[in-house]
Structure 1
Amino acid sequence: MNDRIDLPIIPPTVLSGVVEIGRREGVEVGAWFVGTGLDIAQLLAADPIKVSFRQATAVLRRAVRDLPGKPLGLLVGGRDMLLSMGMLGVAMRSCATVGDAVSVALDLHLASGSLVDVDLEHLDDEVAVRFRERRPEPELRRFLVEEALSTLMVFARTVIRADWSPSRVELTYPPPPYAAEYSRFLRCRVVFGAGADRAVFPARALDIAFSTHHEPTRAMAVDACRRLLGSGRTEPEVVAAVEAVLERDLRHPLSAADVAGQLHVSERTLRRQLALAEQSFSVIRDRVRQRHSIRLLRESSLPVAVVAREVGYSDIRDFRRAYIRWTGHPPSAERRLAG
């Protein structure tokens, strides 16, 4: 996974939860995003961007420092199931049994925005859901495990029964200052300083049937999760961040300095990061304009002059020249080619 930490492939579920809690606590949450290439508006939009593991952990380290002594992971994961799990929660609750839901979770847990990896261990007459670090993050380990563990608990208590608890929970780290919150929330024996981070329960629990089982919904939700995981951009995070800023309003062209300001970095830093990614600002801007121009020409009946304005060209002649440079043909030919 380490070679993918810079790819924006993670739904920002955890980050949006931390922002919500930070605001409630009166913290200046905007400072968490400085230099990351992200801003809060991108996370809370109706169609939020995805983030990279590196971006997410940079924000979370600042959040954890600003909220010391808070059971932050428990609070984020302990929200309503649909807030913490999204479409993955729908897919899992529509399964036939706990075992089926676990299989779906193991396959698709990234669709929930999870920042840890999960597997299932068989321990004689017990099984354990084990949480593994995607890469070493000592400052965040407790938060990440708390979030994943409490998300699991909320799901189980929503779908199985409200008083469900594992047989025990084993955690590798020492008791936090708020250890009593673990006992209150988990309602089972908690072992700190253990050899693994995991929730252990009887193997027979895998056979528990769900009253919410509905195969058509499960199939639809699983497909949606797969599409979500498959739709992430695969370019480096700085490139995706620049594209996301430009896409907000192409009608008002932004300079590299404008974009750098919105990403909370200097223009020099932005250009250096783009150079490391073997990209340039002008190439990215042209790519975004081209993509939107083609979509508008193919999927709408807008006149070419209007399409030009929608992607930031005040002079239709400049737009035509750019379009020919991008595609090899004028924009007036695009609809004929598409047809």
Structure 2
Amino acid sequence: MTASSDRPVGDTAVGDAAASRSIVSVQLLVRLAQDYGVDGRTCLQHTGLSSDDLADAHRLIDPAQELQVATNLVEALPDHPTLGLEAGKRYHLGIYGVWGFALATAPTPRALADIALRYLDLSFAFVRFKLALDQGTASVTLDDQAIPAPVRPFMLQRDFAAMVNALTEVMPGARPFQRIDLALASPQDTTAYEALCGQRPRFGQPRHRITFMDGFLDQALPRGDALIARACEDHCRRLLDRQRQRNGLAAQVRDRLLRTPHRMPSLVRVAEELHLSERSLRRHLQAEDTCFRALADEVRKALAIELLTKAGLKLDEIAGRLGYADAGSFIHAFKRWTGESPTQFRRQFWKD
């Protein structure tokens, strides 16, 4: 490969500030706060979120709400300079659904990086990542400048630790880093960094940059399966397309349906909550080229795909979580959506 000091292989922005995301990340941050003796209500101040919202695993939130939770956490625990690392270590691949499974089954670190960066909006990252090659040596630059200053170091630490965590899960025991440069002031105690990544970073550098060992990108990963990874990537693409397509009133209806997928409200009830008549809601949705039933099916299908990629869940359990009376009704609906049974779909992800 020809030399290039800044040739991007993959690049993704922090994300669309208007895009919704799962509340799972906020749940992890609140649990971290509670482990340090901070009440959950303190974390939720100025977010518009309640304890009931926090208990709803399907609740969608705005990125700004998560940033406010992180800000509250940092303000409540100012004497913990590596708190972000503690947070990031709690982000395991299993919490990301199909995106995490795609990373877990990538055949090489190069394929993993491509999927991770291409579909980063399906994760919880706020940091902007760029992968570059220079005469065969790979490095990742972390750009945190779009993150509000009060919470920037915390988020940089969190997303860095989550990245290291992902690599550790797919390559247990590996030490892939040649050098770690961070544009942060050095803490008095660097033990947390050394325990996480196997070396002491160089602090006070011009930018955040992680350089990998030569040849790292093309090592075979122990759980790699190119066929499964491609199937997962296909679902990631569809999930991201849906996430970007829905806006306006359709997005509001979809978000409302996601709050209680086990007990979806009727069109009449949603119209009342939106202060619209039933007829007006139908007309607005038609203008956005959709309808209430299509949105309900879209929500159930997306959640069904997520649940089917999780090991251990039986079909009747998934049916119950999606509001179906029994597994038979769910199987019939899933075949209508995808043309295959849930069992056939699941075989793409889990080997016997």
Q: Distance in 1 between matches of 2:101 and 2:68?
A: 29
* Alignment counterpart, residue 180 of structure 1, candidates 191, 195, 219: 191
Conserved 8 A contact 1:157-1:163: yes
Is structure 2 residue 220 aligned with structure 1 residue 209?
yes
Q: Distance in 1 between matches of 2:135 and 2:203?
A: 22
CA deviations over 1:19-77 (Å, ceiling 9, x no partner): 1211222312223323323335435524231x323222122111111122333221222
Partner of 1:31: 42
Conserved 8 A contact 1:165-1:187: no
Is structure 2 residue 228 aligned with structure 1 residue 230?
no
Q: Distance in 1 between matches of 2:167 and 2:205?
A: 23
Matches within 5 A, 1:105-184: 105-133=116-144, 135-184=146-195
Conserved 8 A contact 1:93-1:213: yes
Q: Distance in 2 between matches of 1:160 and 1:205?
A: 11
Conserved 8 A contact 1:8-1:240: no
Partner of 2:21: 10
CA spacing shift, 1:9–1:243, aligned 2, 3 Å: closer
CA spacing shift, 1:235–1:219, aligned 2, 3 Å: same
Partner of 1:295: 293
Matches within 5 A, 1:190-339: 190-232=201-243, 235=247, 240=252, 244=256, 248=260, 250=265, 281-283=274-276, 287=281, 294-295=292-293
Identical pairs, percent? 20
Q: Distance in 1 between matches of 2:111 and 2:254?
A: 40
Q: Distance in 1 between matches of 2:53 and 2:100?
A: 23
* Alignment counterpart, residue 64 of structure 1, candidates 74, 81, 96: 74
Give the CA deviation at 1:94.
Answer: 1.2
> Secondary structure of the equivalent of 2:201?
strand
Conserved 8 A contact 1:11-1:111: no
Cα RMSD after superposing both structures: 3.7
CA spacing shift, 1:149–1:32, aligned 2, 3 Å: same
Q: Distance in 1 between matches of 2:225 and 2:83?
A: 34
Give the CA deviation at 1:193.
Answer: 1.0
TM-score using structure 1 length: 0.67
Computing the radius of gyration over CA atoms, which structure comes out larger, 1 or 2? Answer: 1
Give the CA deviation at 1:195.
Answer: 1.4
Structure 2: unaligned runs, 5 residues or longer: 1-12, 286-290, 298-352
Worse-superposed segment, 134-143 or 227-236: 227-236
TM-score using structure 2 length: 0.65
Q: Distance in 2 between matches of 1:169 and 1:121?
A: 15
> Secondary structure of the equivalent of 2:275?
helix
CA spacing shift, 1:166–1:241, aligned 2, 3 Å: farther
> Secondary structure of the equivalent of 1:140?
helix
Q: Distance in 2 between matches of 1:199 and 1:115?
A: 17
> Secondary structure of the equivalent of 2:276?
helix
Partner of 2:334: none
Structure 2 residue identity aligned to 1:58 = Q
Q: Distance in 1 between matches of 2:83 and 2:122?
A: 21
CA deviations over 1:271-321 (Å, ceiling 9, x no partner): xxxxxxxxxx51399749x98x9539x98xxxxxxxxxxxxxxxxxxxxxx
Conserved 8 A contact 1:22-1:63: yes
> Secondary structure of the equivalent of 1:282?
coil
Structure 1: unaligned runs, 5 residues or longer: 260-280, 300-339
Worse-superposed segment, 203-212 or 23-32: 23-32
Give the CA deviation at 1:18.
Answer: 0.6
Q: Distance in 1 between matches of 2:120 and 2:254?
A: 27
Q: Distance in 2 between matches of 1:32 and 1:245?
A: 26
Q: Distance in 1 between matches of 2:89 and 2:210?
A: 16
Give the CA deviation at 1:180.
Answer: 2.5
Worse-superposed segment, 141-150 or 12-21: 12-21
* Alignment counterpart, residue 55 of structure 1, candidates 65, 72, 80: 65
Worse-superposed segment, 195-204 or 32-41: 32-41
Q: Distance in 2 between matches of 1:171 and 1:236?
A: 40
* Alignment counterpart, residue 107 of structure 2, candidates 85, 90, 96: 96
Conserved 8 A contact 1:128-1:200: yes
Worse-superposed segment, 63-72 or 226-235: 226-235
For these two proteins, the number of residue pairs brought into alignment is: 272
> Secondary structure of the equivalent of 1:184?
helix
Conserved 8 A contact 1:8-1:52: yes
